Structure 1
């Protein structure tokens, strides 16, 4: 090949590269074939790299936060004003749930590493290591049996499965679906859970929806066997309802997770009568959709959305209907105060007006970007799970903290990190069976 040929070949090669650049740019900008294949491949590759590159779970996951205090366990306790009982909580420190007394002493623990149950995720790929998997929610039965849901950091879908255990942490049944966030149990024993999965479905009136995206489901399980009874696509229910326009307002950076459902509460006959949006119709579930900042009801039988509301909250968790017909909600982002950005709200569903609120104090700030819960207690107090703070606290209606528990677990080179507390629930001892109560009293 002489000099002229070499120059010609080089020019041809450069021209081919430039043409490939132009074609590639057009494919990317216009999103025409084969853009979707390249985009899916890139996302899959990026996800795998991200999932397998966690070298420091304290700083690279949402499991741990910088500890705000060196104090541990119970730091405030007013026995006369608190609703005394046991408190069940789950923590990102591991796949366990702990039951503590009012002084913060652990009286029982359920624990089962994910690797003892499954080796693969519900999607079929290798599961993350046990150090990145934990229980996000646990619900205890009166006899000490427990239902708990696994999730993982640094993986998508993050839901990993659901188990029912006896008091000795032996498996009664297991459900290998991508369950996450929340669980509720109906009076007749069914288990309501939230799961998700990758989907590439196209919704014509929602053109900006990412492909693929996470599709959330309401899953109904048989409480005795763990077998699925029903599975409802929440995205399709939302899309096919009159509330579809609310989907279009979702922030563009969250269109790969368009709902991020994080709450389920069963609405039976009693609550359906008091909660006006239910119109007296039982067999519904109250759901929380974080991405569009909405709260809604879904009819479990028909799978249809019957009511939806967007109110004075932002990226909320834990809406719970109260006996008075109002509902509580943990408003994660709606307070807009530096270092104190969260608040607790009681909402009248008829007006969406705030009838009670609490937003922390300089001494006890309230700020959690993720998770968090509120449980209304029979004496009028509220048990609050502030996940980012790694704490549980009981609050009176006038805003006084009468009990506070801070996660005793620490991590890092100087114990500077605290695992988030994912859920907390107060249980009156007389709600337990005599056999299990006797076992706890021996501790």
Structure 2
């Protein structure tokens, strides 16, 4: 097909999306409200979704990422849980970030009214690193301008290893031999590794990993509703912190949402050493817990029809699983707790088992964070935007008290001499 015809067909196929996008941006310009980052409260709130924040019993900090009702944009805040005070605030210059990064194929279309600082990492000196979807960004609390920005697709989780390297999901382009016929028709997710100064070190195709490990059938062995343009949907890369009987330090725990499968992958040998499909469904947030267990946040939803995902039954909720490698058994230690609060985020969502055996959970679509002890809900925080709306949140983290206090001292010292001080 001649190039000029292909370009016109591509333009026409994207036309409805462009019109819809224009309408949303027009609404944003008219009202000043970021329409794509707010939801009507009545849609997601019932008598089980209530806020009880702050909490004097919790000495930790919430690294909040989400829509700020005053600035009307996505920011990052370090909030002291015991009194609810914002201690540090990072306010990205989204105009500059979007100007320095480019829109890319197989990536969400990012605008000023939809930009988010996804899954920020809090560094020891008070800097943060986050995904802006079309870029990986590092910034300090002393300035709204990025320290550096890498113009690469970085989506979902952002994690850091002991050497300061950053690992995050990205996309590949079928540049390797084997599946060239799929180029431009489906998205091939990739593992991306960046240096501490934001340089791309390497990118590893997930399709190639599956291909090399004779597991390609997991991604391509079922037609479903036709060729799925996003068959894998990589959404978490966790780094093994130490050697155990079941993995080596530096092994990667990988979550592939659309396969309902988690993998243990060894980068230095290109081997998948273990994998398991289900009982989790369309999961997020696969994490190492101790020397023998991992946790998985299960959205517990399915594809109901093409382009539509949801719960099979009205009583279904999100679930948090523990998998024990020693016993090869799956358990749900927080099942009864979650039944009371009914987290039901269809997309996104996070869960982390804390040092005290409690649970930190993000119910993303409801705009709320929940913190449990072993036997009760300690607090929940909802990101209210106004009386009628709840603001977006974008993969926050729980920060232990001692870590938060140490970082606050360093950040305060650094920013006292700067023109823009976000430390309060």
Same fold, TM-score > 0.5, yes or no: yes
- 1:121 is matched with 102
| 3-state SS of 1:252 partner | coil
Q: Secondary structure at the match of 1:346?
A: strand
Partner in structure 2 of residue 293 of structure 1: 260
Deviations, residues 367-396 of structure 1 (Å, cap 9, x unaligned): 001111112211111110110111001112
Q: Partner residue of 1:111?
A: 91
Aligned pair partner of 1:257 in 230, 234, 242: 230
Structure with max Cα Rg: 1
Q: 1:352 to 1:241 in 2, by over 3 A?
A: farther
Separation in 1, partners of 2:170, 2:108: 19
Give the paired residue count: 386
Counterpart in the other structure of 2:154: 179
RMSD of aligned residue pairs (Cα, Å): 3.7
Structure 1: state its 5+ residue gaps.
Answer: 1-33, 151-158
Corresponding residue of 1:351: 328
Is the Cα contact below 8 Å between 1:164 and 1:173 reproduced in 2? yes
Structure 2 match to 1:96: 75
Q: 1:7 — aligned with what?
A: none
1:189 pairs, out of 164, 168, 171, with: 164
User: Quick check: 1:200–1:213 contact (8 Å CA) kept in 2?
Assistant: no
Provide the residue aligned with 1:384 in structure 2. 361
Cα gap change, 1:362/1:381 in structure 2, threshold over 3 Å: closer, same or farther?
closer
Single out whichever of 57-66 and 362-371 deviates more from structure 2: 57-66
The answer to whether structure 1 residue 341 and structure 2 residue 317 are counterparts is: yes
Q: Does the Cα contact within 8 Å between 1:261 and 1:288 map onto a contact in 2? A: yes
- Partner residue, 1:237: 209
Q: In 2, are the aligned partners of 1:178 and 1:197 still within 8 Å (CA)?
A: no
Does the aligned pair in 1 maintain the 2:239–2:250 contact within 8 Å?
Answer: yes
Gaps of 5+ in 2: 29-33, 302-310, 416-420
Which stretch shifts more, 58-67 or 326-335?
58-67
Do residues 374 (structure 1) and 351 (structure 2) align?
yes
CA distance in 2, matches of 1:258, 1:39: 24
SS of corresponding position for 2:95: helix
State the TM-score, normalized to the length of structure 2. 0.79
Name the structure 1 match of 2:239.
266
Match of 2:187 among 187, 205, 214: 214
Q: Which secondary structure state, in structure 2, belongs to the residue aligned with residue 370 of structure 1?
A: coil
Note closer, same or farther for the CA distance 1:409–1:379 as it changes in structure 2 (3 Å cut): same
Bigger mean CA offset, 281-290 vs 386-395: 281-290
What secondary structure, in the 3-state scheme, does the structure 2 residue paired with 1:98 have? strand
State which of 105, 128, 138 in structure 2 corresponds to 1:146.
128
For the structure 1 residues 198 and 229, does the alpha-carbon distance in structure 2 shift closer, same or farther, using more than 3 Å as the test?
closer
Tell me, in whole angstroms, the C-alpha distance in 1 between the residues paired with 2:366 and 2:108. 31
| Distance of 1:430 and 1:88 partners within structure 2 | 14
1-side partners of 2:35 and 2:315: how far apart? Answer: 20
Give a deviation string over 1:17-47, Cα, whole Å, max 9, x none.
xxxxxxxxxxxxxxxxx69998886455323
Q: Does 1:305 align with 2:267?
A: no
Matching residue of 1:416 = 388
Match of 2:294 in 1: 327
